[in-house]
Amino acid sequence: MLKVGLTGGIGSGKSAVARRLAECGAVVIDSDRVAREVVAPGTEGLAEIVAAFSDRVLDADGALDRAALGALVFADETARRRLEAITHPRVRARSAELAAAAEPDAIVVNDVPLLVEVGLAPTYHLVVVVQTEVATRLARLARDRGMDRAEAERRIAAQADDARRRAAADVLLTNDGSLADLHAAVDALWRERLRPYEANLRERRPARSDRVVLAEADPTWPQQYARLAARIRHAVAPADLRIDHIGSTAVPGLAAKDVIDIQLTVPTLADADGPLAERLAAAGFPRLPGEWWDNPRPPGSGRWEKRLHGSADPGRPVHLHVRPVDSPGWRYALLMRDHLRADPDQRAAYLVLKRELAASAPDSVTWTTAKDPWFDEEHLRAEQWAAQTGWRP
């Protein structure tokens, strides 16, 4: 099933997004609600909290006084971490039980306030972050929760800042407008990305486009790669496999097709099959059907075989090249990237070629074939550069 992590700072409107997703048909697991459940009267969770913080955190009925506990932990990082060590494992375990009970074709949305803070982003197929200006959040906390400004500011400061949440976001929903605006954005996300993503994931079907559209260099490509790499690393664990950002989106300032190329290094090509391929598919990176290889450099030698996976996410095209360590294709991908990063003249020449071909080669097969002569020459230049500089992959 498709697993979506939803987060946002306190007062951002995350709960409104969760409610709208539930109306669309998502199975929403509210971590705050689960957190209350695991520390309800009579639970081991509550007993451990009392042992750590004393019965000062209980109300007259013996239930957890969340305001009293909050006053203790939000001003004390050590205390907060002690509380998190008690509650977070229990919340994760209960959330996993609820997700396992959902239908196989469900879209499960985990509403997790501290998703970024506790490093859970790589465990989801997609992370949605709700972002709202701090002034708006302060006003909402005063209006909706009766929270005074000093307490609201302490709560906001105790969470990740907007920059950290943006870095974790596959989807950023800005909630500074009306509720109708927010609902429209959520509806579009559900219709255009989440539903197709779920179907692709279930069918182990990569989302593909054979059209060649050249995009201007995007400074967020490396950050997008980092999110994808973390997801892949989580999927293949405990194996500790090398993962690299390759291709044009790995070269700063270079226009490219908006496809993130990633190289996953395996000991042998046989290791790319079986359980590894299934783990990648389950994480949202299904294998493309058929046989795949790279054209050899220089031409004439045997083809460089590989495995090629794509992305089930229609909103983030990916080519995941699985190549054996020290194989010619593996080395070539790293060498071309590093040489283009180091040589501005060749980077400029390649950009000119790409712009010319984008106008005349509208499909990916023609595009790839038309670039071969230039890359045959570039390979020689790159090898000379590697010998002169002592480059190693």
pLDDT digits (tens, 9 = 90+) for 357-382: 877 766 666 667 778 788 888 899 99
Structure confidence at residue 363 (pLDDT): 66
Asked whether the beta carbons of 235 and 287 are under 8 A apart, the reply is no
Structure tokens at 381: 């230049």
- Fill in the DSSP letter of residue 25: T
For 129-156, the pLDDT digits (tens) are 998 877 777 777 777 787 878 777 777 7
Give percent of the chain with pLDDT exceeding 70. 97
How many CA atoms, within 13 angstroms, populate the side-chain half-sphere of residue 164? 16
Do the bridges between strand 2-8 and strand 318-324 make them parallel or antiparallel, or are there none, so unpaired? unpaired
For 269-291, the pLDDT digits (tens) are 999 998 999 999 999 999 999 99
Asked whether the beta carbons of 246 and 262 are under 8 A apart, the reply is yes
Of the candidates 341, 330, 339, which has an alpha carbon nearest to the alpha carbon of residue 383?
Answer: 339
